[in-house]
Amino acid sequence: MTPVLEMQNVTKCFGGLRAVKGVSLEMNAGEILFIIGPNGAGKTTVFNLISGFLHPDEGVILFQGKNISRMAPHRAARLGIGRTFQIVKPLPSLTVLQNVMLGAFMHTGNLSHAESEAAKILDFLQMSHLSKFSARGLPLAALKRLEIARALATKPKLILLDEVVSGLTTSEALALAELVKRLPEWGVSVVGGVEHVMQVVMKIADRVIVLDYGAKIAEGSPAEVVKLPVVVEAYLGPKYKELTQ
Ligand SMILES: Nc1ncnc2c1ncn2[C@@H]1O[C@H](COP(=O)(O)OP(=O)(O)O)[C@@H](O)[C@H]1O
Ligand SMILES: [Mg+2]
């Protein structure tokens, strides 16, 4: 079967800085992949490359076998690549429901269809009670869910979740993780990116890729990856050793 996403030897430079260095990855339909690494490791740059906000200097990105390396973001979105942003940006003057409907308008021009799709997604994300609220002033945990809802409403095949649980309390993060784990029920594959919050990654990722200064230094199941000395020492620190025991 053709992988949903393939990155082959992708490099991206900003001036003299090689933010992503020869990264290759492959993922299959329905998979949940997490990219971990500290601030500056290149996670957001990888998301920007996949979603067409940036283009690689070297290497190729394939989505369902199609070369999308030079594709503009709106075309990548139409093709089925949805994303959330590390800095959440809903339209504050619209309600929660209207924000999600905007996503649905990518594939339907019918108002009531868009509304029922949006309502279903809000129900799944356990935020129906917020439907009529303005997006302005929502707490961060609700804003993070709204970002996912908006992306899901575009009916993506692949959804990119950049720092989806950052800034949340542990219980908020774990509750959201339960929902992220169920995203494949919507026919999407998931690529998440997190700086630390290993607890979440351990719970929901099928596979983990570790970035170190833009290079992939490890890949495997969460349980395998947290045991690797290079990961423990370079990233997670001694306190994470207990997770592996
Ligand atoms: N638009 C940009 N211009 C210049 N440097 C950038 C840009 N975006 C990211 N960088 C740099 O690239 C490196 C990787 O950043 P980023 O992908 O945001 O990492 P992460 O998401 O893992 O924290 C960092 O050193 C960052 O400062
Ligand atoms: Mg980032």
pLDDT (tens digit per residue) in 9-49: 999 999 999 999 999 999 999 999 999 988 899 999 999 99
Report the atom number in ligand 1 closest to the C-alpha of 46.
17
- 37 ligand 1 Cβ < 6 A: yes
Q: What is the distance between the alpha carbons of residues 51 and 214, in angstroms, rounded to a whole number?
A: 18
> What's the rounded mean pLDDT across residues 142-157?
94
Exposure letters 65-95 (e unless 16+ CB within 10 A, then b): eeebbebeeeebbebbbbbbbbebebeeeeb
Mean pLDDT, range 56-66, rounded to an integer:
97
Rounded to an integer, what distance in angstroms lies between the CA atom of residue 53 and that of residue 71?
A: 9
Residue 95, beta-bridge partner list:
134
Mean pLDDT of 89-106: 92
> How many other CB atoms are there within 10 angstroms of residue 237's CB atom?
10
Closest CA to 3 of 52, 77, 66: 66
How does residue 236 score in pLDDT terms, banded at 50, 70 and 90? low
Concatenated DSSP letters of 45-61: HHHHHHTTSS--SEEEE
Condensed to tens digits (0 to 9), the pLDDT of residues 190-224 reads: 999 988 777 888 889 999 999 999 999 999 999 99
Measure the CA–CA gap between 28 and 30, rounded to whole angstroms. Answer: 6
The correct CATH number of 5-244 out of 1.20.1440.230, 1.10.490.10, 3.40.50.300, 3.40.630.30 is: 3.40.50.300
Diameter of the chain measured on Cα atoms: 54
- The torsion of the CA quartet 221, 226, 228, 234, rounded to 10 degrees, works out to 130
Predicted confidence at residue 245, as pLDDT, reads: 46
Among all bound ligands, the one having the nearest atom to the CA of 19 is 1
Residue 155 has pLDDT above 90, yes or no: yes
Ligand nearest to the CA of 41: 1
Q: How far apart are the CA of 120 and the centre of ligand 1, in A? A: 36
Look at residue 237 and tell me whether its pLDDT is greater than 70. Answer: no
**Band of the pLDDT at 137, cuts 50, 70, 90?**
confident
CA trace torsion 220, 37, 6, 14 (10° rounding): -160
* Nearest residue to 202 via CA among 152, 240, 146, 164: 240
Please give the model's pTM, rounded to 2 decimal places: 0.92
Question: Look-up: residue for tokens 């230094």?
Answer: 217
Mean pLDDT along residues 226-238:
75
Tokens 């973001």 correspond to: 73
Q: Does ligand 1 come within 6 angstroms of the Cβ of 42?
A: yes
Helix axes 140-153, 96-104, angle to 10 degrees: 30
Atom of ligand 1 nearest to the CA of 162: 21
Nearest CA to ligand 1 atom 4: 14
| Average pLDDT score over the chain | 91
**Percentage with pLDDT > 70 across the chain:** 94
